[in-house]
Copies of this chain bind each other. A is one copy, B any other.
């Protein structure tokens, strides 16, 4: 036994020597095995974009052997957060129309604005703004769905974010897809363009919903995703009105309807799932499909409260999403964690509901599992991608810091000082290193001013 332990320590030491990047002296929250216990002072050694070794400082390699050293003293090192649902380009519509009835918001504000203002340029710059916002808030992976998604993929790639970028499919004329007959082909072209191109951007298919896509489109889009081995995303069961309409038109509830079309499998990600029957929760669990909950969006648009505890109890992989900035209005998973933890407590009148460690797991491992990336992301373990964030604990709202629960109830995206994606430092001392953020904000502000003025 002693020999074995010594051998493992020796192996770990070997793996850690001569690394590209070495993070030292930080409190470590590895999330390995869902554990939220802290290692009070530890190191992470990174080589070739992967985590080479993780451990307590006593086992740390010689800093002189590392390419770059980051001193995380007084700080906390944890896996980068996984945002399982965004429409990055919609930053342009952030706060454009708040506090309105859902259909007024959608049909009188968002859809007309999208029809007029979404073009490749807008998608690139507004997605880049979203990427900056997410990275600066500790999100290292985003699952995105929009139109002109090729441009969104470019923005994520240029920003240094990891992404699952999904081309939108809808049975209406859409930006870049004037004829809906070409919607699945457009998605196929998008996948072909991105498949295997980079380690950070994975292409996927995003069918808008069962009420905006007919059954043929839904089946074809899922077949495309299956054939290409990429994830398939769909909004479903978001509102009571959607469920009522589905019952009327399809004679059944939305998830059951998708199941009947053969759409549920482990590569399908069901977004929202606010209104589910117990039978539907069982169907999802049995199929291996994943679910994404967007707490801020569900609250602000008054969609409802998803049966999250029931989904988790059934063993469903559940991730958290910010949704687009138009319905949130901020892309910060620390806030989503706080919202979801508190919402489920007050709704159930049970302060033990959805404890903080479960919420931390959803924002990291749960999200990675929902996106089919659990083997690569979601915890600090040797062999996983080197996506990690470093938070500054030397702040009044994080003092004292008894345990990791405080990350849910008191931390916020702005506490993140350093962000590493794929082994590269993309945010240092809260400054984004990958592009000129001021220029991107100026461009988006000019677009917003034109939109506000109603000019062409």
Contacts and interface: CB of A to CB of B under 8 A. Distances in A.
Interface of A: 91-92, 94-96, 98-102, 105, 129-130, 132-133, 136-137, 240, 296, 298-305, 325, 328-332, 335, 338-339, 341-343, 345-346, 348-353, 355-356, 394, 396-397, 399-403, 405-406, 409-410, 412-415, 437-438, 440-441, 444-445, 447-448, 452
A198 to B, nearest CB: 23
A95 B352 contact: no
Copy total for this chain: 2
B399 A441 contact: yes
18 contacts: A94-B402, A94-B410, A95-B403, A95-B406, A240-B349, A298-B346, A299-B343, A300-B351, A302-B353, A304-B346, A304-B349, A328-B409, A328-B410, A331-B397, A335-B412, A343-B343, A343-B346, A412-B414
Given A98-B356, A300-B342, A394-B441, 18 more contacts: A91-B400, A94-B399, A94-B410, A95-B401, A99-B356, A99-B405, A100-B351, A101-B352, A105-B351, A130-B396, A137-B397, A299-B343, A300-B345, A300-B409, A330-B397, A330-B409, A396-B437, A399-B445
Contacts of A300: 341-342, 345-346, 351, 409
B342 A299 contact: yes
A39 to B, nearest CB: 17
Contact of A98 (B305, B332, B343, B405): B405
Q: In terms of DSSP, what is the predominant structure of the interface of chain A?
A: helix
Contact of A342 (B92, B325, B339, B403): B339
A438 B302 contact: no
Contacts of A448: 400, 402
Contacts of A441: 394, 396, 399
Contacts of A406: 94-95, 329
Nearest to A350: B302
Contacts of A341: 300
A69 B329 CA distance: 33
Contact of A355 (B99, B137, B350, B394): B99
Interface centre among A92, A339, A349, A396 (most CB of B within 10 A): A396
A136 B440 CA distance: 28
A92 B400 contact: yes
A345 B353 CA distance: 21
A346 B129 contact: no
A402 B95 contact: yes
Given A94-B400, A339-B342, A400-B444, A351 B412 contact: no
